[in-house]
Amino acid sequence: MSKKNIKSESQILCDTIVEGMQENKANDIVVLDLREIENAVCDFFVICSGDSSTQVDGIGSSVTRYTRENIAEKPWKIEGQNNSEWVLIDYVSVVAHVFYRETRDFYNLEDLWADAIRKDIPNLN
């Protein structure tokens, strides 16, 4: 296998987070590859939206459960579960952002990190 085909641990974690989001019908999943950005806080941001605070909370729970069950990874920190408008799940090398749709529009992380390589994941639902 060539070196280009070998995925890094952060890429595997990123892919697993995407799958965890898809398990709970997350919308508009975007992966921002920050590895080439100077002074980036991590390797990847994975961003998605939910249509209600209940769905945002459910997607966050799905991500943590799915990563734990499939690759034995636990988040370093989780923030925002009290109001479920923006749940941030920090795995150090990958940070997942689960937004309520209007909150995502307001913060617009994709534009803030516009220099990153962007990959849009098609909605499954």
Q: What would the pLDDT profile of 69-79 be if each residue is shown by its tens digit?
A: 999 999 999 99
Asked whether residue 119 is domain-assigned, the answer is no
Residue 77: what pLDDT? 97
Whether residue 122 is contained in a domain is answered as no
> Where does the pLDDT of residue 53 fall: very low under 50, low under 70, confident under 90, or very high at 90 and above?
very high
Domain that holds residue 27: 7-111
Q: Does some domain include residue 90?
A: yes
* CA distances from residue 28 to 21, 31, 67, 100 in whole angstroms, order as listed: 10, 10, 20, 11
Give this prediction's pTM. Answer: 0.92
Look-up of token digits 């408008």: 85
φ and ψ at 28, to 5 degrees?
Answer: 50, 55
In a domain, 82, yes or no: yes
Q: What is the CATH number of the domain that holds 103?
A: 3.30.460.10
3-state secondary structure of 122: coil
Rounded mean pLDDT of 46-62?
Answer: 96
Report the domain count for the chain.
1
Q: List 120's β-bridge partners, or say none.
A: 30
